[in-house]
Chain A
């Protein structure tokens, strides 16, 4: 029973981080119709910048107990690179999907080396700092409070996103633009601005995900291409462009991975890809996506 709860908790933690990343992908795909392969680089950027930001703040005398706030701030700040990247993507909105995909692949290569230039190639960690919050006794097992806080932050962010998209005027405009860009522009929506805002928001979700995960594990250059395929699995299972799909997909992938690692480590990714393929074959639009052409 203890093992079972452990697995579920680690799965949910993983899902919480994956949801942020995949949510960013979904937003950008929904509005700009681009599958952003460089999202893994944003994730790594958030992780590395999080380390630097937290270390710097603590040197300046901030108490380690502000860790969560510092991490959230770092993730948000570095997400502001979004508009720069969007400016580049703007050049290919009218082009074929292959070229769009390739451009985001190129951006990933560039960002990967920029990270290597700034932070070096050796993996970095924040040490034991996340234990500043102590541990939580949960049923017969323990959970570091920091992980619980990450899960909580992710849930809050999901709720905030849902509220924004469903209840605010901005959200209505975003959904209308995702539905029919030409019509919404004809009705006076500033499409250029929506693109910038949504892409920046998507980038921020990715950098926040990376920043939130870094106190519990190392930041490395390998995470860039690894996390892309995981986020991609989430998006495919959930359905391209759907936020609810991102949530359900992240839970499926997070929990499956946790169970597979426990039961039979060889299956870890195999299982995920098998499910991705199954979903694509049976229902290519995913669980919550719109029907494919």
Chain B
């Protein structure tokens, strides 16, 4: 990482941290889900961009994280956000292991279909088992304490764009740093070699299934933590979070930002949410416009937004791979 690159990141972070003084509260409430989705997509891209497995059921882990927070805060009465996040991560960790063990044996379309089936299975559990999950009305989320400080008396907007906003950014920075270390470690190299040529990787001694499973579990945990952050501003965990079209949106955002690039998913999350907000304010037919954008992306700009900034060197490299 060059110095110039580091400076750009520091500048972007400083800009993000100063938004409460620049943007109106309305736009601030859009930044919160964008930060949460950044975390979700960072995890998703470890699986998709780095390991080459396209999951069409990733919304399941987002919903798992969200429901964990909802149940812990409103039913169990655990208010500490840190414990809630740990809980969400732990639940996703434990559930993704058996599911991952079954899924990582398959690749390509079969992997996508199996994850989609698990996602929909979870959705129908959320939807139908009313006593446990509240059915279609979902479960309320009670405002958690941050670092043990009780903020329940604070005005909702002030809480969200103040302490909670910086809390989310802090978490995003930590998790992004961890992910950066993961993809630049031997583990990350293992995953990329599995993506590019699983047979050769196996021949060279890479335990393909085990590493796919590791990527699967890490991405699920990121999904759960993102889901935990996502649900606090909304105040409600509902089954819609786990529906398969949500998984489609996760893939959409990742491609939008650029799955070839480490920072692509983060850009994708912010760009997608900003774009969607602009379109929704202009027309009720936002799906049409978003769908057209997606068609253009897939056909003409598969590298996403980050693909636009690609240097000649990386362009040549990705040409080689494809």
Contact = CB atoms under 8 A, between A and B. Distances in A.
A101 B112 contact: yes
Interface residues of B, number: 41
Contacts of B286: 113
Interface in A87-128: 88, 91-92, 95, 97-99, 101-103, 105-110, 112-114, 116-117
Contacts of B34: none
Interface stretch (B18-26, B142-150, B295-303, B311-319): B295-303
A228 B244 CA distance: 10
Contacts of B294: 102-103, 105-106, 109
Query: Main SS of chain A's interface residues?
Result: helix
A269 interface: yes
Contacts, number: 122
Interface stretch (A142-150, A181-189, A200-208, A276-284): A276-284
Interface string B173-205: 000000000000000000000000000000000
Contact of B251 (A98, A109, A265, A276): A98
B287 interface: yes
B299 A92 contact: yes
B56 A270 contact: no
Interface string B117-142: 11011001100110000000000000
A106 B285 CA distance: 14
B128 A109 contact: no
A268 B285 CA distance: 32
A273 B245 contact: no
Interface stretch (B103-111, B161-169, B207-215): B103-111
Nearest to A34: B109
Given A105-B248, A106-B291, A108-B291, A98 B48 contact: yes
Interface in A242-291: 265-270, 273-274, 276-277, 280-281, 284
A236 interface: yes
Interface of A: 35, 37, 88, 91-92, 95, 97-99, 101-103, 105-110, 112-114, 116-117, 225, 228-229, 232-233, 236, 240, 265-270, 273-274, 276-277, 280-281, 284, 292-293
